Amino acid sequence: MKKLVVLLSLLSCLSLPALAKPEELDRVSVIVDQGVVLESEIQELVETVKRNAVTNNQTLPSDRALRTQAIERLIVTNLQMQLANRMGIQISDPQLEQTIGNIAQSEGMDLAQLRDKLAKEGVSYDKYREDVRQELITGEVRRANVRRRIYITPQEVNNLVKLMDEQGAQQAEYHLGHILIGFPPSPTDEDIESAKQRAQKVMEMLNEEDADFAKIAIASSSGAKALEGGDMGWLNINSMPTLFAEAVQGQDKGKLIGPIRSGAGFHILKIMDLRGIDKVEVNEVNARHILIKPSIILSDEKAKEMLMGFREKVMNGEADFAALAKEYSEDPGSALKGGELGWADPSIYVPEFKDALNTLNTDEIGMPFRSVHGWHLVQVLGKRVGDATEKVKQDKAYQLLFQRKFAEETDAWLKEIRDSAYVEIITPRDAG
C-alpha cells in the first residue's frame, strides 16, 4: 500500500504536457556539407516568392517546382555562408544599419517608414535585417572568390574603347568656322607660295587676343560662306569633307586648325562649338607627402609632433621636404621619390587627403592631419585642369568588361561549389 501511495505521488508531480507527444516546431530538411537547411527556411522563401509574385502580378509554377527551386537557392546560400565563416567575413551592426539606411533612402523613405512598410507586408524587421546581412556577406564571398578568376587584357580594353569611339563618332557634330585662301586657276609655284604666306598671316591675326573670326573671314576668305563670317554651321563628323573630319577629330572647342592645303587653296578652321562628344575634364593636383604611422612605440601625439617639427624646419629653410620624405616617410610608393605622388584627381585619395589637397594652394604646406593610413604632412606642388576623357573611356570599357566577365564567372563558380558539395535532402519519412 505504501509503495502505491509513493507511485501515485510521483505521477501527480508530472504535468499532462510532459506526458504528451512533443510537437514538431521545425526540422532539418537538407544537410549541406557542415551545415543544414531548415524546413522553416524553405517555407519562408517560398512564401516570400509567392508574396512578390502577387505584388508584381506574376504567375508561378507548381508548389513542388517552387519548393525545388527554393531548396537549390538555400543550398547555394548555405555553402557561401559556410565559406564566409571560414574566411572570417563578417558584417558589423553599424555597417548593417548604414546599408539599411541607404536602402530606405534610395526608396524615398526613412528607417521608420521602411519598418512600417515591412510590417504591412508581414515581414519581421529582425528577419529583414538578417537577410540584408546575409546578402552583404555572400556578396563579399563572391567578390573575393570570383574577382581572382577574371583577367582582362589591355587589348580587350583598347578594342572596346575603339568600338565605343566609332559608335560615338557617328553622333559627333562640330560648329565650324572656315576661311579659304584660294588658288587662282592653274596655280604656279609662286601662286601657291603667295597663298601660303597670306594664310599664315591670317593665322597670326586669328591668334591675336580678341581676334574676331567672322570679321577676318569676311575680309580675307574666298570660301562660299565668306559673307556669313565663314560660318559653316553644325556638321556631323561623317558629313563634312574628309580633309576637315581628319583635322578636327579629337580637337577641343575654340581650336584653330591650319593652314591645311587642298586643291582649292589653304583652309583655316575654327571649332566654334561641339556636341555629341563626351569630354571629361578634371582638376588635377601634384603633391608630395610624408606619412608617419603610429605604433605601440610611437603614439598618435608623437607622430603628429614629429610632422609639426618637419613642417617648421622646411618652412624655416632648415630642411628639404623631399629629403625628409626619403628618410622618414612610411609610404613605400612615394618615399623614394621624395614623397611625390604625381598628377592625380584628388578624389582617388581618402577623404582627409582629398580635402587637404583641395584646400591648399600651390607650394603651400598644410598642417599635419590623420587618415586611416596614419599622419600626413602634405605640400601641393601644382594644380591644373586635365583632360580625363581617354582615362574615363578606358575605365568605362574596363568596367563593362569586368561586369560581363564577373557575371559569367559567378555562375561558373557557384556551379562548381554546388557540384563539389555533399548535399542530402531529407524527406519527412527519413526524419521520422
pLDDT of residue 168: 61
Q: In this structure, are 369 and 285 located in the same domain?
A: yes
Q: In this structure, are 155 and 220 located in the same domain?
A: no
b/e per residue 237-246 (b: at least 16 CB within 10 A): beebeeebbe
Q: In this structure, are 243 and 222 located in the same domain?
A: yes
Look at residues 405, 406, 399 and name the one whose alpha carbon lies nearest to residue 144: 406
Pairwise CA distance, residues 145 & 260, whole Å: 56
In DSSP terms, which residues pair with 15 in a beta bridge? Answer: none
Say yes or no to pLDDT of 19 above 70. no
Q: In this structure, are 37 and 110 located in the same domain?
A: yes
Based on the structure, what is the number of domains in the chain? 4
- Does residue 210 sit within a domain? yes
Query: Stretch 308-336: mean pLDDT, rounded?
Result: 94
* pLDDT tier for residue 432 given thresholds of 50, 70 and 90: very low
Cell representation of residue 383: 594644380
Q: In this structure, are 128 and 180 located in the same domain?
A: no
pTM exceeds 0.85, yes or no: no
Here the CATH number for the domain that contains residue 332 is: 3.10.50.40
- Does residue 117 sit within a domain? yes
Is the Cβ–Cβ distance between 371 and 353 less than 8 Å?
A: yes
Pairwise CA distance, residues 39 & 46, whole Å: 11
Query: Which has more confidence, 324 or 163?
Result: 324
pLDDT digits (tens, 9 = 90+) for 77-95: 999 999 999 999 888 888 8
pLDDT of residue 397: 83
pLDDT digits (tens, 9 = 90+) for 120-148: 888 889 989 999 999 999 999 998 899 88
- Does residue 26 sit within a domain? no
Among 257, 275, 293, residue at a domain's last position:
275
- Does residue 414 sit within a domain? yes
- Does residue 13 sit within a domain? no
pLDDT digits (tens, 9 = 90+) for 211-247: 999 999 998 998 888 898 899 889 877 677 888 988 9
pLDDT of residue 7: 36
Q: In this structure, are 353 and 424 located in the same domain?
A: no
- Does residue 6 sit within a domain? no
Q: In this structure, are 207 and 240 located in the same domain?
A: yes
Here the CATH number for the domain that contains residue 82 is: 1.10.4030.10
Residue range of the domain that includes 271: 174-275
Q: What percent of the chain has pLDDT over 70?
A: 90
pLDDT of residue 275: 83
Query: Which has more confidence, 186 or 15?
Result: 186
Burial (CB < 10 A; 0-12, 13-18, 19+), residue 301, is: exposed
Q: In this structure, are 193 and 257 located in the same domain?
A: yes
Q: In this structure, are 325 and 342 located in the same domain?
A: yes
Residues 6+ apart with CB under 8 A from 24: none
- Does residue 16 sit within a domain? no
The overall average pLDDT reported for the chain is 86
pLDDT digits (tens, 9 = 90+) for 361-410: 999 999 999 998 899 999 999 998 876 677 777 887 888 888 888 888 88
